[in-house]
Amino acid sequence: MDIDHDADLTVRQALFEQVRRHTGIAMNERKWVMLKGRLRRRIMTLGLPDYSDYLRVLDTSADEVRDFIDLVTTNETSFFRTPRIWDYLVREFLPNWTASRAGDTLRVWSAAASSGEEAWTTAMLCEEHRAQHPAMRYAIVGTDISDGILANARVGHYAGRSMESLRQQRPELVQKYFRSDATGIGVSDALRAHVSFRRHNLYDVPRDLGPFDLVLLRNVLIYFDVDGQKAVLANVRRAMRPGAVLIVGESESLSRVADGLAFEQPLIYRNEERKHEQPA
């Protein structure tokens, strides 16, 4: 079979199910062209004749599952994406947290960290705030399902459009928090001391994550159906302190799935007290 041809309906549905099984992402026929494009080169690299053979590889190879996850997940982010979010952190969240929780360590979760720009953006703003409040302590954890993209986040080297945009928006922060070396432009040790990255599937209960005061779960819920969104949010809430803040993406609304999360302002929700819930 020429893999330029479409797989039959049964095989396509089986591939969609593999995506859901390993990532929680809901795909349907409208996504087939995209999925086909992402898998085609991999199938050719493996020397397989068709998609059915690839399904058999997925069922028998944990290494291939990791590569499959890297292929099918979307990793798009940038420094200071959605300015209103960062204005909120600077003007409201960080001052209020410092006033009410002096002496504690602010714990932040970048829950779909991708290549790390969101976590490093948060760290820069925390460092700027700490310059005015030297006693402040903070720790940021970035997680993603893709091992490949997490490797990039850990390295923390940036170039191209991502770096150029940051230079244009915040040149003073580039000067303060980035260093040039033989491999490119990377985040400084001042930020690295507070940021770590690890693999986590949002469909899994976060048994060793948290509790967090702030969770950024941005531009990821749009890839789940309603049941998937409910499952992810329930897991995220397990890692949040009562009263913690959840920030979602600009294309996302929790109106149908916000059980236990109180709307505070657009994109921003507050975790309510869990009076009747039992520990997982």
Domain 83-271 CATH (choose: 1.10.3720.10, 3.20.20.220, 3.40.462.20, 3.40.50.150): 3.40.50.150
185: three-class secondary structure by DSSP: strand
User: What phi and psi, each to the nearest 5 degrees, are found at residue 156?
Assistant: 70, 30
Q: Do the beta carbons of residue 191 and residue 120 sit within 8 Å?
A: yes
H-helix or E-strand spanning residue 186: strand 184-187
- Tell me the pTM: 0.82
Q: What's the rounded Cα separation, in Å, for the pair 102 and 98?
A: 5
Cα–Cα distance measured from residue 165 to residue 215, given in angstroms and rounded to the nearest whole number: 24
Q: What is the CATH number of domain 9-72?
A: 1.10.155.10
Q: Average pLDDT, whole number, for the chain?
A: 90
Please state the domain extents for the chain.
9-72, 83-271
Q: Flag the least confident range among 31-35, 72-76, 107-111, 169-173.
A: 72-76
**240: pLDDT strictly greater than 80:** yes
Question: For 38-51, what is the mean pLDDT?
Answer: 89
pLDDT of residue 5: 58
DSSP codes, 139-158: EEEEEES-HHHHHHHHHTEE
Report residue 255 as tokens.
């109106």
Instruction: Outline where the chain has alpha helix (H).
Output: 9-23, 32-45, 51-60, 62-72, 83-88, 94-100, 117-132, 147-155, 160-169, 171-177, 189-192, 226-238
The two domains 9-72 and 83-271 share their CATH topology (first three levels equal): no
Q: Helix, strand, or coil here: 54?
A: helix
Q: What is the pLDDT at residue 172?
A: 96
Choice between 101 and 256, residue whose per-residue pLDDT is larger: 101
Predicted pLDDT of residue 239: 97
